């Protein structure tokens, strides 16, 4: 085993430490066989994996390290109503059957623990520091906020993990993202990550795992750290993590699946060894000055096409590379936007507050602050979609739902909703939205729909004015 510990060893990053602890076997000519501590499964990327198991007559090796929930294709209207979309309904039913047949615990549509897979793992205390976490979903990096090595996998790999609890993996490069300083009011975690991606591009982290470090990251809450890790994939990295600290331990302590008593003390001791050693070397590094960050917004058709909200949309004529120039022109054509002007004041049809990036309680609180005592612009349809049933309950206990409803926003059931537009929540062709989700690809939020990605604050401010708004002009 490659595990190295104690004095005299080469200093290691947290990424290497977690990796080393999970090496099951290393054979010449093959990638490393890596053990997986937690496997999250959902209805969309798993059916063909379960079919594969059935065809081969295999069992799920560790149902006790596996959990299922339904989030992607589930409607966000009243759960007591039947699912209108027959195909989605059949998929959810099949998933429920798969979990039952293979003994996997399942947070179904009516469970109080149901929610977006990346919201419920942390919320239930399933996600813990130092773990390897996988899911058939590219935003699995979210769990990296706990100092876990968490990454998205394809359906073939879902089958591998179900059958063997292992994956064949090659080591990634390490990439330090150092964010120092203090954020200005109105600027948050979403703006940090959108800024990073706009600088390195959506392929900038390919082949790498990010470690987010620096004083600005340290001062963030767990929920904010999750927002940042969540979008690691949008920078091309399969995973991104933050070393655990007291903020992490306080968050995990007492959650339903977290270790208790003596087990907790044992776990804590191991977790405290995880942070990157002094002198460890990363393959790549970038520095971000938190003091200088502005609220960010995307204007184009990938998450790297982001600008400070007061900055002008870039001009393709100023790019030298012909393919890059064409890509930007194509994006602006799709978005039907002129270059050279800021997006401020651009009318929108829909505001979506939700997704595994920004649908936790702190996101909803931030949005509610803006909605309080204000009304949604009558031209805008506003959807607020909590990330989980637990978030929903908490928000209702705090009266946030009333603030949203009184403002004229739509308060919905938990799920991915318009982040991926599989469940009927979607943009109409040509419509514009400000969304707190993570992807603005063509058609991502509905065929022909146009998405501006931004923070919950920017989204809420836009909802009340009806046009893209700098939240700092409202408060």
Partner 1 sequence: MEKFTTFTSRMAPLPIDNIDTDQIIPARFLKTTSKAGLGDQLFCDWRYDENGNPKADFILNRPEGHAAQVLLAGDNFGCGSSREHAPWALTQYGFRAVISTSFADIFRGNALKNSLLPIVVPPDAHKKLFAMVEKNPEATVTVDLEDEELTLPDDSVVKFTIDQFAKTCMLEGVDELGYILQQEAAIAAYEAGRPLTVNTLAS
Interface contacts to ligand SF4, rule CB under 6 A: 71-72, 116-118, 137, 139, 355-356, 416, 419-420, 437-438
Q: How far is the CB of 1 from partner 1 (least distance, A)?
A: 8
d(CA 68, CA 132): 17
Position 442 contacts partner 1 (CB under 8 A): yes
What sign for the dihedral angle of Cα 161, 163, 166, 170? negative
x/- mask, partner 1, residues 95-124, rule CB under 8 A, reads ---------xx-------------------
Q: How far is the CB of 475 from ligand SF4 (least distance, A)?
A: 27
For residues 333 and 402, which CB has a smaller minimum distance to partner 1 in the complex? 333
x/- mask, partner 1, residues 223-242, rule CB under 8 A, reads ----------x--x-x----
Position 450 contacts partner 1 (CB under 8 A): no
Contacts (Cβ under 8 Å, ≥6 apart) of 309:
294, 295, 296, 297, 342, 343, 344, 454, 458, 468, 470
Of 312, 314, 408, 443, the residue at the interface with partner 1 (CB under 8 A) is 443
Position 368 contacts partner 1 (CB under 8 A): no
Q: Which residues pair with 410 in a beta bridge?
A: 383
Only one residue has tokens 């998405």, namely 451
Question: Largest Cα–Cα distance in the chain?
Answer: 66
| Local structure of residue 115 (DSSP, 8 states) | B
Among ligand SF4, partner 1, none, partner that 71 touches (CB below 5 to 8 angstroms by kind): ligand SF4
Position 466 contacts partner 1 (CB under 8 A): no
For residues 278 and 336, which CB has a smaller minimum distance to partner 1 in the complex? 336
Q: How many residues bind partner 1 (CB under 8 A)?
A: 83
- Enter the tokens of residue 152: 């998205």
Among partner 1, ligand SF4, none, partner that 116 touches (CB below 5 to 8 angstroms by kind): ligand SF4
Helix, strand, or coil here: 237?
Answer: coil
x/- mask, partner 1, residues 126-155, rule CB under 8 A, reads x-x--x----xxx-------------xxxx
DSSP string, 315-368: PGGG--SHHHHHHHHHHHHHHT--SSS-STT-B-SEEEE-TTTS-SHHHHHHHH
CA 411 to chain centre: 21
SS in 3 state form for 61-76? Answer: CCHHHEEEECCCCCCC
Q: ∠ CA 454-357-372 to the nearest 5 degrees? A: 60
Among the candidate windows 157-165, 338-346, 386-394, 461-469, which touches partner 1 by CB under 8 A?
A: 157-165
Among partner 1, ligand SF4, none, partner that 163 touches (CB below 5 to 8 angstroms by kind): partner 1
Among the candidate windows 259-267, 349-357, 382-390, 450-458, which touches partner 1 by CB under 8 A?
A: 259-267
Q: How far is the CB of 391 from ligand SF4 (least distance, A)?
A: 13
Q: Which helix (H) or strand (E) holds 420?
A: none
Q: How far is the CB of 117 from ligand SF4 (least distance, A)?
A: 6
For residues 175 and 352, which CB has a smaller minimum distance to ligand SF4 in the complex? 352
Binders of partner 1 among residues 267 to 306 (CB under 8 A) are 267, 270, 302, 304
For residues 308 and 453, which CB has a smaller minimum distance to ligand SF4 in the complex? 453
Among ligand SF4, partner 1, none, partner that 349 touches (CB below 5 to 8 angstroms by kind): none
x/- mask, partner 1, residues 190-209, rule CB under 8 A, reads ------------xx--xx--
- Enter the tokens of residue 433: 């939205």
> What are the backbone dihedrals phi and psi of residue 383, each rounded to the nearest 5 degrees, phi first?
-115, 125
Among partner 1, ligand SF4, none, partner that 264 touches (CB below 5 to 8 angstroms by kind): none
- Give the other-Cβ count within 10 Å of 64's Cβ: 10
Position 324 contacts partner 1 (CB under 8 A): yes
Q: How far is the CB of 54 from partner 1 (least distance, A)?
A: 12
d(CA 287, CA 394): 36
Contacts (Cβ under 8 Å, ≥6 apart) of 363:
223, 227, 353, 436, 456
């Amino acid at each position: 085993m490659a595990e190295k510990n104690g004095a005299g060893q080469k200093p290691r990053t947290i990424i290497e430490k977690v990796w080393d602890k999970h090496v099951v076997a290393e054979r010449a000519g093959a990638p490393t066989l890596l053990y997986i501590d937690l496997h999250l499964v959902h209805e969309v990327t798993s059916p063909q994996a379960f079919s594969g198991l059935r065809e081969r007559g295999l069992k799920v090796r560790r149902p006790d390290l596996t959990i299922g929930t339904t989030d992607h294709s589930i409607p966000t209207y009243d759960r007591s109503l039947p699912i209108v979309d027959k195909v989605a309904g059949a998929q959810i039913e099949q998933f429920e059957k798969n979990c039952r047949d293979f003994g996997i615990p399942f947070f179904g549509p009516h469970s109080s623990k149901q929610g977006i897979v990346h919201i419920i793992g942390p919320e239930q205390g399933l996600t813990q520091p130092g773990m390897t976490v996988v899911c058939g979903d590219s935003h699995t990096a979210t769990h990296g906020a706990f100092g876990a090595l968490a990454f998205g996998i394809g359906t073939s790999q879902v089958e591998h993990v179900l059958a063997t609890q292992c994956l064949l993996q090659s080591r990634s490069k390490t990439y330090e993202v150092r964010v120092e300083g203090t954020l200005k009011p109105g600027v948050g975690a979403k703006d940090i990550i959108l800024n990073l991606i706009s600088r390195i591009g959506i392929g900038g982290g390919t082949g790498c795992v990010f470690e987010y470090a620096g004083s600005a990251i340290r001062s963030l809450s767990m929920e904010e750290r999750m927002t940042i890790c969540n979008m690691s994939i949008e920078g091309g990295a399969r995973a991104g993590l933050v070393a655990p600290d007291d903020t992490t331990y306080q968050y995990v302590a007492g959650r339903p699946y977290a270790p208790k008593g003596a087990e907790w003390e044992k776990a804590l001791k191991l977790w405290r060894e995880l942070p990157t050693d002094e002198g460890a070397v990363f393959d790549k590094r970038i520095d971000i000055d938190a003091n200088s960050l502005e609220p960010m917004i995307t204007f184009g058709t990938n998450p790297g096409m982001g600008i400070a909200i007061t900055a002008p949309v870039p001009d393709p004529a100023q790019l030298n590379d012909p393919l890059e120039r064409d890509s930007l022109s194509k994006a602006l054509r799709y978005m039907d936007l002129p270059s050279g002007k800021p997006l401020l004041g651009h009318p929108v049809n829909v505001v979506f507050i939700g997704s595994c990036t920004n649908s936790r309680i702190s996101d909803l609180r931030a949005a509610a602050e803006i909605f309080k005592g204000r009304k949604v612009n009558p031209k805008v349809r506003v959807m607020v979609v909590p990330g989980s049933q637990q978030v929903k309950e908490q928000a209702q206990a705090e009266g946030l739902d009333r603030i949203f409803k009184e403002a004229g926003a739509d308060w919905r059931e938990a799920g991915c909703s318009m982040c991926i537009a599989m469940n009927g929540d979607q943009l109409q062709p040509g419509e514009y939205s400000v969304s707190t989700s993570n992807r603005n690809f063509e058609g991502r939020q509905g065929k022909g729909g146009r998405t501006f990605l931004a923070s919950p604050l920017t989204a809420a401010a836009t909802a009340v004015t009806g046009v893209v708004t700098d939240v700092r002009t409202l408060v």
